[in-house]
Amino acid sequence: MARLGLSTKGHARREQIIQTAIQGLAADGYRNTSLRGIARALEVEPAHILYYFDSREELLQKVIERWDESALAHFGQALVPENALDAFVLTIRHNLRIPGIVHLYLTVAAEAVHPDHSAHAYFVERFRGVRTMLGDAIRHEQRQGVIPKHLDADLEARKLIALADGLQLQALIDPTIDAPGDLQAAVVALRAAA
């Protein structure tokens, strides 16, 4: 849980630590990014980082949250049902520019399946939010006649999330796999079925 009562300077320091962790993931990948390495880049002791974050897990969760925010900002426009399916594909393309972030996301998401994991509640809400966003987008396109009305929008949303996460994992293992292209093909197939 984020430390309460931090000063403006303290919040700025937390942000600097998060950004340094993202830079480490970009440069060195998930396996080679450690608290010690982040601290070294900041020219502090690892314990200094734990003054601002309760644990390494909290820091990693905050990195994922910040990356999600930056991915939406990268898209450059409000996320609405009219553009959400295409934005989802663009977000996967954006994510894979930094494989260390994708590796972090997949690892922490897998660890967070346990209800006592510090990121469990975050991932429950994250998946719920993405399912809702994609389900609303599919229902919107169903009303427009772009996607067949008989399809269960919530089921199709879950399938798109599973496909995106699975394709990102495959792309980490085999960089020749075009995860965004394959995901785009699935969206096109949804639309073509009408």
Which residue from 99, 116, 118, 98 is spatially nearest to 108, judged by alpha carbons?
Answer: 118
d(C-alpha 105, C-alpha 133), whole Å: 19
Domains of the chain by residue range:
56-192
Which one-letter amino acid corresponds to residue 48?
H
Q: What is the pLDDT of residues 23-40, one digit of tens each?
A: 999 888 888 888 999 999
State pTM to two decimals.
0.87
Q: DSSP letter at 53?
A: S
Distance CA 35, CA 18 (A): 11
Q: List, for residues 68-127, the tens digit of each pLDDT value.
A: 888 777 666 677 889 999 999 999 998 998 999 999 999 999 999 999 998 999 999 999
Could you tell me the two tokens for 14?
Answer: 């937390």
What pLDDT shows up at residue 1?
Answer: 44
* Topology, domain 56-192: Tetracycline Repressor; domain 2 (1.10.357)
Condensed to tens digits (0 to 9), the pLDDT of residues 130-161 reads 999 999 999 999 999 999 999 999 999 999 99
The 10s digit of each residue's pLDDT in 43-57 is 999 999 999 998 888
